[in-house]
Structure 1
Amino acid sequence: MYKTVIDPRVSETDGVGHINNTTIPVWFEAGRNEIFKLFTPDSSFENWRMIILNMNVDYVSQIYFGTHVTVHTWVKKIGNSSLQLYEEIRQNDQLCAKGTVTYVNYNVKEKKSELIPNHIRSVLEKHLAEDV
């Protein structure tokens, strides 16, 4: 599992007093940075490999400004050229949001998906989730 701590910002708080629902997908993406680095070590968009295919978010409980949140990211499935992640956001050890996202290893220059290399696959396998 990958773990990322985020401090909510005032600007992410909406008029109802909780973190706006549009912020959650951005926080989930922040939890994927280590996975992005596996596929694009130099983090350049010229060499970017991870193309999102699908994302689902379930909002479970409200999140508030003033207390950090933790994004937990697991690998749920590894295919030939794609992978699915399972993610959770927790505040005060309470589940607040959960979701899945699917990415494909994509060669932008060639305009085609490519197999996930074995050296990346072996790292991803260390973060496989059980029963999610």
Structure 2
Amino acid sequence: MTDPANLPLEAFPSQTVQTLRYADMDSAGHVNNAVYATLSEAGRTPVLYDPARGMPPEGCHFSIVKLTINYMAEMTWPGDVTIGTGITRIGGSSVSIRQAIFKDGRCCATAENVVVLTDSTARKSSPLPKHAREWFETLLISEQA
């Protein structure tokens, strides 16, 4: 498996731009570590929550069950970041998501996520329907990329 920090932004099928806020900085003058989790969420939301694609499936939501962030380089305000997002594994009810956060063309962090499709009433995992699986297949990143 290739280290996501070595992947170019173009390797990620979904890309989301976010503007850093002054409030994102901590007392050391760089973007606070907790903001990276928020940036990861901003990148995966367009993939998981797209009403035009029937996502999430009716009566369901996605629950994040794992988020691992690797901090590669310091980020400072001001500026925009681009979050590259792609799918690495499609399971029965879960999806693994790989992300990289770029600022000024440089990979500053990577994230590995696992989300589970959850029945909103029963509060239990639910199988991914065909249309969701087909959508996720269009977003697959090659493990060799």
When the two structures are superposed, what TM-score results if normalisation uses the length of structure 2? 0.82
The CA deviation at 1:41 is 6.9
Match of 2:89 among 77, 81, 93: 77
Return the letter of the residue paired with 1:29: E
Please give the per-residue CA displacement for 1:79-100, whole angstroms capped at 9, x wherever unaligned: 0100010010000110100010
More displaced, 33-42 or 102-111? 33-42
Match of 1:37 among 34, 49, 69: 49
1:9 and 2:21 aligned: yes
Q: Does the CA contact (< 8 Å) of 2:88 and 2:98 recur in 1?
A: yes
3-state SS in 2 of match to 1:31: helix
The answer for the alignment partner of 1:64 in structure 2 is 76
When the two structures are superposed, what TM-score results if normalisation uses the length of structure 1? 0.90
Q: Does the CA contact (< 8 Å) of 2:87 and 2:136 recur in 1?
A: yes
Please give the per-residue CA displacement for 1:27-84, whole angstroms capped at 9, x wherever unaligned: 1001112222243378xxxx45101111100000011111211001110100010001
1:87 and 2:103 aligned: no
- Matches of 1:71 and 1:3 in 2, distance apart? 6
Q: Does the CA contact (< 8 Å) of 2:19 and 2:81 recur in 1?
A: yes
Residues 104-115 of structure 1: matches in 2 within 5 Å?
104-115=116-127
- Matches of 1:114 and 1:12 in 2, distance apart? 35
3-state SS in 1 of match to 2:49: helix
More displaced, 105-114 or 115-124? 105-114
Aligned alpha-carbon RMSD (Å) = 1.6
Match of 2:115 among 93, 103, 114: 103
- Matches of 1:124 and 1:108 in 2, distance apart? 21
Please identify runs of 4+ aligned residues in structure 1 that moved more than 4 A. Answer: none
- Matches of 1:27 and 1:41 in 2, distance apart? 24
- Matches of 1:13 and 1:48 in 2, distance apart? 35
The CA deviation at 1:119 is 0.7
3-state SS in 1 of match to 2:38: helix
Match of 1:124 among 133, 136, 144: 136
